[in-house]
Amino acid sequence: MIQTIELNNFLSHSFTKLDFDDDGVTIFIGHNGSGKSSIIDAITFVLFGKHNRKSNRSLIKKGSNQAYVKIRFSVNKKQYEAIRRIDRNGNMYSHLVEIKINGESTLLVSGERKQFGESMTKQIEDIIGVDFSKLKITSIVQQGELNAIIKSKPKEFKEIINALIGIDRLDTAAAAMNLIKKKFRIEIQNKNGYDDTHINILNQKKIDLTNLIKKLEPLQKSLASKKLEYEKDIRGIQETIENETYKITKFHEVESRKIELTNYAKTLLISIQEKIRNEKQKIEICDNYLKQIADKYKIEAIVIHTNNILEKLIQKIQQYNTKINIFDEHLHLTKKLKLTNNKCPICYSTIKKLNPLFHEEYINQEITKLKNLIGLLNAKKNEYDENNNKNKIKLQMITNAEAVLSTHSITNETDIENIKNECKIYHDQVNMIQRVLELHELDKIASIDSHAQQLYSKIKYLETQILGFDSKKFSRLKDAYMQKQSQLNNINQELGAARSRLSTTITDTNEMNRLLNELSNVKEYIHILDQIQDKIFNRDGIVATSLRSWVLEMISKKTSEYLALLNTSVNRIMITEKVREMSITCYSKNIALEIDSLSGGEQIGVSVALRLAIMDMLGISNLNCVILDEPTVHLDEERRKSLVDIFSQLSEPTNRVRRSIQLIIITHDSEIFDNSEINKIYKFSKDPHGSKVVAL
């Protein structure tokens, strides 16, 4: 039971605190927008952190930074207090305590740290036995839903019952079964590449494989037979080739020897031609060198004579240089022995006439003459040096020529003439070799020299060993062998491919049989699951039908019990299920009455009894609290009065059912409760500061 609820800056409430009786009826009256329905959002917010508003921030009263809701409730004789707070940043704080008899409190949980196993919402769900969605169905009757339960069409009424008793869980189970089948099929497909939906396709593939085997088996036999025929032909050709192989070896050797003989003649021809070129070059060089050495002795005599003249010129130049040095010394003394007043500067004796060697002018003249003579002698010496160098170069060339001639063993013109005669012989050999090569006459090529004769003799000997051998015929035989072998290789490839394909096809067929057997079992297993799903998890299946039948029977019984407490002519009802719908039949002293034939008050009574029976039957949570939001909407005056009478009867202690139920009724029709027996009434109004609540 809800004992108190406190709202602070929550929606339109600045501060509101409400007290509730443990059982009976509590009425909220007031105009639309006065904050009555906010109490429902406050209850679901503090208990579960959920509500019907757009966002958490919209719960905070305008102008405030935070809001909170505090609730005190009792379950199974235990008292609890929960508070949940929210600020403008969206931060939420909550805690739940248990209040002991002595007034002390024990913290049970704080916050919503689900990752650490701490959740006030989860703790409250465990305490009251329902979650937010279940509480909305069983304990909160929204506007217009009270009377709608009997006004709904039969099919719609069936869906209401399905929703109330949790038939949707069968839908969830069916969906889970579909998911299980899907996952199972995925596992089968991941394992095999197919599932039971592919059985027809696989059967067709099996037929195709069987037809392919029927084609491959005779093809394999035909290729195997053809292979034996070709192998037999090849063995016969191979034996013939083996018998003739040694002859082809000799034949090739003959051809090789002929080529060797011809190449030898060509090599010899090139060698002789090279000799001719070398000898001609030798003649040309040596002929010039013989002419050079003819002047050797004459040039040597000129060099000796030139050296003698140069030696005399050098001596003469040295003599003149010596005289110049002597004159330089006299000139130095002359400058020191200069006369003053015809007297000697040393002994001061009078000198009438000086030696010309002590006259400076005379000495300079003599030195000039000597230098001129030296210049003429140097010019002559340079001329002789130049001629002498030329002659020495000639002598060096003659020495080099003698070395070359010595290398070629040439001493005179006779030696050169002998070389010219050898060249004529070589020319004759060249002409002869060229002629026989052009005619390709091996016997004449053999006459070149002894080595050529030996090669020719070997050729003749080998030719005697291959008499009657036809190389063209042997070549055709080999070509036939290669062709047959190539054809046999193709047959082997075709046979190998046919055998491989046949083996693969047989393996695929066996695998296909295994796969089909497995998928057949899978299909049977899924068929069983389909039957389970259809009979157990189907909302129109055996389980759902049986459950609805039992529930409808119990609801009918409970409704009849509640009707017995109310002052109506209807004393019991019977709810029955047809193929796709449900119907409600009312009884008054065993007389069957249709719903539409009842008076407005009787319809309200049946609606309230039916709703209470459904809630009592299905469990309205351990709170034992039912909230009716605007139950008088769309009701005429007679029905509204009947509803008030029913609430008054439910609030009387003598009319309370075995299980205490706390009713909270929200309505804007305040006048209908003026003369009622209900004492717990709160009036809601709106002023500039927000909602205002006063107990009447």
Of 620, 606, 622, whose CA–CA distance to 565 is shortest?
Answer: 606
CB atoms within 10 A of CB 460: 13
The b/e string for 361-400 (b: 16+ C-beta within 10 A; e otherwise) is ebbeebbeebeeebeebeeebeeeeeebeebeebbeebee
Residue 7, H or E segment? strand 2-10
Only one residue has tokens 């010596």, namely 322
Question: Cα 335 to the chain's mean position, in Å?
Answer: 114
Task: Supply the pLDDT for residue 512.
Answer: 92
Mean pLDDT split into 10-residue runs, the chain, 696 residues: 92 91 81 87 91 86 92 90 91 90 87 69 85 74 68 66 69 84 90 90 92 92 92 87 77 85 87 85 78 79 88 90 87 69 62 64 86 90 89 83 79 81 86 84 83 87 78 84 91 92 92 92 91 83 82 86 76 79 82 81 78 67 77 66 67 52 79 68 88 88
From the list 419, 402, 416, 410, the residue with the least C-alpha distance to 292 is 402
Task: Please give the pLDDT value at position 513.
Answer: 93
Reported as half-sphere exposure (CB side, CA atoms, 13 A), residue 677 has a value of 11
Among candidates 678, 573, 602, 593, which has minimal Cα distance to 147? 602
How large is the angle between the packed helices 120-128 and 38-48, nearest 10 degrees? 110
DSSP 8-class letter at 343: B
d(CA 651, CA 372): 170
| Side-chain-side CA neighbours of residue 213 (13 Å) | 14
Per-residue pLDDT at 163 = 63
> Alpha carbon of 327 to those of 13, 16, 365, 374, 588: distances in Å?
149, 153, 10, 15, 186
Backbone angles phi, psi at 12, to 5 degrees: -90, 0
Show the domains of the chain with their CATH numbers.
1-139+623-696 (3.40.50.300), 149-193+540-619 (3.40.50.300)
pTM: 0.46
Collapsing DSSP states into helix, strand and coil, what is residue 507?
A: helix
Express the helix, strand and coil content of the chain in percent, nearest 5 each: 65, 15, 20
The residue among 94, 91, 105, 86 whose CA lies nearest residue 47 is 94
N-terminal to C-terminal alpha carbon distance within the chain:
21
Number of residues in the chain: 696
Alpha-carbon distance values, 465 to 253, 446, 458, 472 (Å): 11, 20, 11, 17
Provide the pLDDT for residue 658. 45
Those residues with Cβ within 8 angstroms of residue 338's Cβ, 6 or more apart along the chain or in another chain: 345
List b or e across 657-667, with b for residues whose CB sees 16 or more CB atoms inside 10 angstroms.
Answer: eeeebbbbbbb
Task: Report DSSP state, residue 677.
Answer: S
